[in-house]
Amino acid sequence: MGMKCIGVDIGGTSVKIGLFEVTGELLDKWEVETRKEEGGKYILPDVASSIKSRTAEKGIDLKTEVKGVGLGVPGPVLPDGYVETCVNLGWRKLNPQEELSALLDGIRVRSGNDANVAALGEMWQGGGKGYSDLVMITLGTGVGGGVILNQKIVAGKHGLGGEIGHIHVRDEEWEHCNCGGIGCVEQIGSATGIAREARRKLANSDKPSALRELGDTVTAKDVLDAAKAGDALALEVMEVVGHYLGLALSMVVMIVDPEIFVIGGGVSKAGQFLIDVIQKHYDHFTVISPRKAKLGLATLGNDAGIYGAARLIL
């Protein structure tokens, strides 16, 4: 048995924890509840005691057999690990990396923003395996992003690195995004955004569509399923989505020019169909060069966070 490492992915409802060989093999994974009460003060002690009991159970000595613990945090993390606020967890002004290390007898702990960390996970053992320069875009409830250059996360000097979901792409938007801006990628390319776009199209046209009977309950999955089945209105919605996602990727190309884009999140379950919709518009906005980053799918699903967190300390 070789050296181990541990990846911790803190989410709003549960914390995922994975135990890995440093070579990338996932040995065990489990979850603990995210107790957000009292400013999230129980979260890190819960994580620490869970790690201690699980490793003890397996006869693994934390001090000598575990290289360190990586931590994915659902909010901005400064280069030294400091978190100003993490709304999802109730945290304010703390350094979770230092605290967790103290709770685990001084073991090495490294942390990063969860979307950036997921990108690192996909680079290590997922859809970006074998690449050193990749950009991940996660299409879930929101749109997250992570930029990896030379195998390292580009977190940015103010924690805004990889915030691809909040690039402004649509001038004619009128509703505000959660970030305070208007016309962000997230407002169109997230699962929420795709459903909203469908509701708008349904309201503004009389075109027959399988989505019509769903009305306001329509989901991104409904739209993608209908589009795959050839539903004209659903295809129109996906053209809009593909336009803005392809545009956003073209912007990334002109700034950091990665080797590959890895597309993940719930929406990416639509697979190659989604890639094809995005690819068409991506090519349109990058006529400057036929040689550019290819598009691929994420493969680790919800485990990307624990993989990436573990990779942080290698």
Residues that bind a second copy (CB under 8 A): 133, 145, 147, 149, 154-164, 166-168, 171, 179-181, 247, 250-259, 285-289, 291-293
Q: Would you say 153 or 202 has its CB closer to a second copy?
A: 153
Q: Report the nearest approach of a second copy to the CB of residue 259 (Å).
A: 5
Residue 279 to residue 302: CA distance in whole angstroms: 24
What amino acid occupies position 188? I
Q: Would you say 24 or 156 has its CB closer to a second copy?
A: 156
Nearest residue to 89 via CA among 77, 107, 74: 74
Q: Would you say 252 or 295 has its CB closer to a second copy?
A: 252
Q: Report the nearest approach of a second copy to the CB of residue 172 (Å).
A: 9
Q: Would you say 158 or 280 has its CB closer to a second copy?
A: 158
SS3 assignment, position 261:
strand
| 183 contacts 173 by C-beta, under 8 angstroms | yes
Indicate the angle between helix axes 220-228 and 232-255, nearest 10 degrees: 110
Q: Report the nearest approach of a second copy to the CB of residue 239 (Å).
A: 15
Q: Report the nearest approach of a second copy to the CB of residue 142 (Å).
A: 12
Q: Report the nearest approach of a second copy to the CB of residue 236 (Å).
A: 17
The alpha carbon of 228 is separated from its chain's Cα centroid by a whole number of angstroms, namely: 25
Q: Would you say 164 or 223 has its CB closer to a second copy?
A: 164
Token duo for residue 23: 């070579």
Contacts for 164 with CB less than 8 Å, ≥ 6 apart: 135, 137, 143, 144, 145, 185, 248, 252
